A and B are shown apart, each in its own frame.
Chain A
């Protein structure tokens, strides 16, 4: 057969690097505004660490949003549950946490994180089966069900752990700062950046190098066609939901250690932030979520330093600005 279909080479798709340059531009723009280099380095490190923690919490939600078209307003419950579950390990073994030994600190921190992720993931399984399965495709009911779930989870945490804020001290090895010139960068922030980058790299690896990843990317774009190719997308949904919940649990532990406290309403507070990131990034886009999280954290930190009165509304203003520029988010994947 004659090839009549393609004459010449395809135009190379343009790499859309503009959104990725935004955090860099914002960081550079604030150098003269902040004035002191050491303050700028500290603020930038704080932004990167906070951004990575928000990204970890939001990454699961963006995939759930994009792939399953599910509005999960209860995502914050996984964050809070993760943090509370970690206290089950970290508080009884406080001696290990306070020990001046990295090995002893890790020996208690790693199991605490793994347990938190496992319990949050398992809770995700229950939530998907019980709350979300009956309301697939019905956004209003999803909002009602998942918001109700969040309230129930919050009250259950109060009932189990009491209404007091639980102090959660950082392990000794993670206290203190690395000093570079006049600037000090908290050790925990460096760890948060590394974990965030590792999660980002891991998700990218799975999405781009494995068949499961291909299925997720294809499912975000057209779930019906994935089913027509012979794959049960509901099973994929469940897996993604559980992983997303587990990551929220990880984010919850990190946030609790960052704030050095755990309280039942922490999920509430973070849900708004996480949703802003998911919307700014573009539903279903991990890359967009990553950049969105960085932008939200930078605006919160630089904005809080430069114009403290704007700090409360800075994220909303950022979301409005991004949506006016790109109504479907920085990297739109789905047309929903």
Chain B
């Protein structure tokens, strides 16, 4: 598999804070790369820097070979990058339909694609005309993911989609992300839930203090409890 996204020596400063301190890793095309690490390790900052929401102060970010570290966020999105932030950031004043209409930049909603999404998230069909602000946390997460895939994307950046959700909804989300991967979408996923990380991850990158401290196969890390404890402070089991 070739690499769809590569980061080389990426540094990010927010005010006087040096958040990312030379991040290097690659995301293989068509797979799911897990981005793990303790709280404050720099995972969300990495996604935000890739998305252009925070400007990298130095280093290179390439998407399909094209440098994007100086590109504006909308231009990065238009290259086929979907972003699902930790906060979900659904537009609560807008209906489910309006949220998806906005996300479909290039024209009206595609019925076939919409049916594909309803297959994952039937609740969105049911609450089509409800205000997004009135949805439950799980439904908002579904809407946030649906918004990111309402049009074909090359790469999805997803930040802790299972955080705070009930186990049954987590299972549904895992199935959904597997299906999205089967559709050929590459995913870079920040996740703290061990079950989700083990189920979904092909490869894994671990961060600490704004830098990458481990790269490898997810299965290998899942099988190595001492390594988990060394890298994450706790075993992945304890992160459930």
Contact = CB atoms under 8 A, between A and B. Distances in A.
Contacts of B171: 4
B169 interface: yes
B146 to A, nearest CB: 12
Interface string A281-313: 000000000000000000000000000000000
B78 interface: yes
Contacts of B172: 1-5
B145 to A, nearest CB: 12
B112 interface: no
Contact of B93 (A1, A6, A217): A217
Given A4-B168, A6-B126, A215 B133 contact: no
Contacts of B122: 1, 3, 5
A233 B102 CA distance: 13
Given A6-B136, A10-B130, A211-B102, A1 B92 contact: no
B43 interface: no
Interface in B131-166: 131, 133-136, 138-139, 142, 147, 166
Interface stretch (B19-27, B83-91, B186-194): B83-91
A231 B85 contact: no
Given A1-B175, A5-B142, A232 B121 contact: no
B77 A228 contact: yes
Contact of A13 (B73, B78, B133, B138): B133
Nearest to B120: A1
A10 B136 CA distance: 9
A281 to B, nearest CB: 15
A227 B102 CA distance: 11
A268 to B, nearest CB: 34
A282 B171 CA distance: 40
B89 A222 contact: yes
Nearest to A215: B102
Nearest to A229: B103
Contacts of B184: none
Given A4-B172, A221-B91, A231-B105, A10 B135 contact: yes
Contacts of B131: 13
A231 B94 CA distance: 17
Contacts of A4: 166, 168-169, 171-172
A63 to B, nearest CB: 14
16 contacts: A1-B172, A2-B172, A3-B123, A5-B136, A5-B172, A10-B127, A10-B134, A12-B134, A215-B102, A218-B93, A222-B89, A226-B102, A227-B53, A227-B73, A229-B74, A230-B78
Interface of B: 51, 53, 72-74, 77-78, 83, 85, 89, 91-94, 98, 101-103, 105, 119-123, 126-127, 130-131, 133-136, 138-139, 142, 147, 166, 168-169, 171-172, 175-176
Given A5-B121, A231-B74, A333-B93, 13 more contacts: A1-B119, A10-B127, A10-B134, A10-B135, A211-B101, A211-B102, A214-B98, A215-B102, A221-B92, A224-B53, A224-B89, A228-B77, A230-B78
By Cβ-Cβ distance, the 4 closest A-B pairs, closest first, are A230-B77, A6-B123, A3-B122, A5-B123
